[in-house]
Structure 1
Amino acid sequence: MTDLILHQYAESPFSEKVRAIFGFTGLPYKSVDIPAIMPKPDLIALTGGYRRTPVMQRGADIFCDSALIAEVIDDQNPKTSIFGQAGKAQAIAAARWTDSEFFRVCVGLVFQPAALAANPRFKDAKAAEAFVKDRAAFTAGGPALAIPLPRAEAVFREHMRALEESLKNTSFLGGDNPNIVDFSNWHLCWFVHRQEVLRRYFDGFSAVGAWLERMQVFSSALQTTTISGDEAISIAKGCEPRKIDSPKIDPLLEIDRGAQVQVLPTDYGFQPVSGALVVADDKHIVIAREDERAGHLQVHFPRYGFEVSLAGDST
């Protein structure tokens, strides 16, 4: 089996989500530490422009978005699936809300003045300025990542009360074992809780506190080997993308297989990835592209949260 390679950085909450899923499954993987801000030349060589974190690689196949990455990991470890059939639809819907709306709530908390003053990254004025400029460019044209602090605090408290009730009589939100809802809540609670100045938001929620300790075990159970970006690119160039059996194209797109297309997120991070269309079904978008350094690649996206259109189509 080709090694799974996670392109991530330590402070990234969505990377933490994937790290915890790896820890739960026990699957070994390799890790590439990428910069938190642009430029990211090694990552872009693989993705063709997509710059969100994390990205996962399997040979010459590149997987974008943590929701899709979770599915790929789960497919390789079905005995401990985090997508159980019972309540699967509700779990996926809850995870999507958490990864989008609750993420904005937690960003509002983490980027409040008291937290920024305690964050080592923002003690260096030049580093802080570079980070702010990078995120401004990243979110240009989309909604603000953070919601105002008073609303963020109110929504966070409401969600903690809901989690507390859900966890009073069960070890995990998924029951006896964690499911995707646990991991989607974990990485955002981790994002807030890892800053000592913000831990007061968890005061009075003892069941949530015990759940955080249980989830931390998965996060700490890392079986990773760190490699360089150059090594990851060499691995991609030495592989061929996996053949996709019976690839489908949604007829409503009115785009032929092999047509040159671009793929964009629907919320923020509007950096297009261009290539030849391979798949665009109800779940996935896959495009084929060539890179001078990385060779022939297939870049995978979830259909939810992404749009595919003919290359150069401004609509």
Structure 2
Amino acid sequence: MSELILHQYADSPFSEKIRAIFGFKRLSYQSVDIPAIMPKPDLIALTGGYRRTPVMQRGADIYCDTALIAEVIEDHSPENPVFRAPGVAQAVAAARWTDSEFFRVCVGLVFQPAALAANPRFKDPGAAEAFVKDRAAFTEGSPGLAVPLPRAEAVFREHLRAMDQSLGCQNFLGGDTPDILDFSTWHLCWFVHRQEVLRSYFEGFTKVDAWLERMRDFSTAPVANTISSEDAIAIAKSSDPGKMENPQIDPALGIDQGAVVSVLPTDYGFQAVSGALVHVDDQVIVVAREDERAGHLQVHFPRYGFEISPAGDKQ
């Protein structure tokens, strides 16, 4: 039985990114189906407040944000690497743009009126209202997730043109085999392409169409075993967090190890996680927290895209 547990739901684009990485690596994992909207009591028991999807669990260690999740999977299973020299710096930088700005472009397309009218999720007025209220609360205090439609359409077409040119001389954006940029781009193209009413945006981009088929092969690889959220919590409760070999604290923070801190995303989803600071360097933040149901946990975040402050400070 795999020790990696992915908390996700089927329609989640960022979950699709991680599902495809698992498929590419032919790496088995366990999957927990979580609700698309709040409340998510079992997930919050593990994260302490973080609600973005997906979350990955390994015993009593909880990993947030797909940028970090992808790196943890790579460390766990370095075969078929998605972070490859010599182009890793360029791929990571481009993937960050894709996961943030291009994501907002794709949200603008997917949530346009024509797409919403064709989306089964919004056929039930009550379900649609609940979803809208949930996302309003989720993005409160941020500029929002969606780029206005005219600009979204222009940026999307421009990016597909660039992709089509790149794919004219290679099978993947990363070269002969996919890298992290392919997976960060795939899940957003999947998010748009999976809706039939939006597929016209891809017309004329033949190299992109062929790339979509190649990437889809990874996405559909049957590597997951579904377990319940209660089972995942029981696994956390019965496990000890992994011991860090050399925990350290970035001295620039001016915060002591063990101090109670809040960790918050910098873009949207401003639901803070509080815990005792275990480790923070240029790459990761780790806090320890206790939960009545899940026990003693360590919650991990990437340093990029998250802020740390003493708990109780005004956010």
Match of 1:37 in 2: 37
Cα deviation, residue 143, structure 1: 1.2
Contiguous gaps of at least 5 residues in structure 1: none
Moved over 4 A (4+): none
Answer yes or no: is 1:140 the counterpart of 2:145. Answer: no
Match of 1:185 in 2: 185
Whether the 8 Å contact between 1:5 and 1:31 is mirrored in structure 2 is yes
Q: How many residues align?
A: 315
Whether the 8 Å contact between 2:29 and 2:225 is mirrored in structure 1 is yes
Answer yes or no: is 1:99 the counterpart of 2:96. Answer: no
C-alpha distance in structure 2 between counterparts of 1:183 and 1:299, whole Å: 24
Answer yes or no: is 1:298 the counterpart of 2:301. Answer: no
Query: What are the equivalent positions in structure 2 for 1:215-294 lying under 5 Å apart?
Result: 215-294=215-294
Match of 1:78 in 2: 78
Match of 1:159 in 2: 159
Whether the 8 Å contact between 2:249 and 2:256 is mirrored in structure 1 is yes
Corresponding letter in the other structure for 2:146: A
Corresponding letter in the other structure for 1:230: E
Cα deviation, residue 79, structure 1: 2.4
C-alpha distance in structure 2 between counterparts of 1:144 and 1:272, whole Å: 18
Cα deviation 1:242-280 (Å, max 9, x = unaligned): 001111111010000000001000011110100000011
C-alpha distance in structure 2 between counterparts of 1:237 and 1:141, whole Å: 34
Cα deviation, residue 81, structure 1: 1.0
Match of 1:60 in 2: 60
Cα deviation, residue 189, structure 1: 0.1
Corresponding letter in the other structure for 1:50: Y
C-alpha distance in structure 2 between counterparts of 1:248 and 1:186, whole Å: 35
Match of 1:23 in 2: 23
Indicate the SS of the match to 2:144. Answer: coil
Corresponding letter in the other structure for 1:91: A
Answer yes or no: is 1:113 the counterpart of 2:113. Answer: yes
C-alpha distance in structure 1 between counterparts of 2:123 and 2:78, whole Å: 44
Whether the 8 Å contact between 1:2 and 1:58 is mirrored in structure 2 is no
Whether the 8 Å contact between 2:174 and 2:181 is mirrored in structure 1 is yes
Answer yes or no: is 1:207 the counterpart of 2:207. Answer: yes
Cα deviation, residue 2, structure 1: 6.0
Cα deviation, residue 176, structure 1: 0.8
Corresponding letter in the other structure for 2:314: S
Whether the 8 Å contact between 2:2 and 2:28 is mirrored in structure 1 is no
Corresponding letter in the other structure for 1:176: D
C-alpha distance in structure 2 between counterparts of 1:40 and 1:110, whole Å: 24
C-alpha distance in structure 1 between counterparts of 2:74 and 2:204, whole Å: 34
Corresponding letter in the other structure for 1:115: A
C-alpha distance in structure 2 between counterparts of 1:236 and 1:77, whole Å: 21
Indicate the SS of the match to 2:141. Answer: coil
Contiguous gaps of at least 5 residues in structure 2: none
Cα deviation, residue 291, structure 1: 0.2
C-alpha distance in structure 2 between counterparts of 1:226 and 1:19, whole Å: 13
Corresponding letter in the other structure for 1:181: L
Cα deviation 1:161-203 (Å, max 9, x = unaligned): 0000000110101111100000000000000000000000000
C-alpha distance in structure 1 between counterparts of 2:129 and 2:114, whole Å: 17
Whether the 8 Å contact between 2:2 and 2:30 is mirrored in structure 1 is no
Whether the 8 Å contact between 1:289 and 1:296 is mirrored in structure 2 is yes
Whether the 8 Å contact between 1:2 and 1:59 is mirrored in structure 2 is no
Whether the 8 Å contact between 2:171 and 2:211 is mirrored in structure 1 is yes
Corresponding letter in the other structure for 2:168: K
TM-score (norm 1): 0.99
Cα deviation, residue 238, structure 1: 0.5
For the structure 1 residues 85 and 176, does the alpha-carbon distance in structure 2 shift closer, same or farther, using more than 3 Å as the test? Answer: same
Indicate the SS of the match to 1:79. Answer: coil
C-alpha distance in structure 1 between counterparts of 2:226 and 2:77, whole Å: 22
Corresponding letter in the other structure for 2:298: Q
C-alpha distance in structure 2 between counterparts of 1:124 and 1:115, whole Å: 15
Whether the 8 Å contact between 1:19 and 1:222 is mirrored in structure 2 is no
Corresponding letter in the other structure for 2:291: D
Indicate the SS of the match to 1:80. Answer: coil
Cα deviation 1:190-242 (Å, max 9, x = unaligned): 00000000000000000000000000000001311100100000000000000
C-alpha distance in structure 1 between counterparts of 2:17 and 2:207, whole Å: 20
Whether the 8 Å contact between 1:98 and 1:185 is mirrored in structure 2 is yes
Match of 2:128 in 1: 128
Indicate the SS of the match to 1:109. Answer: helix
Cα deviation, residue 160, structure 1: 0.2
Indicate the SS of the match to 1:207. Answer: helix
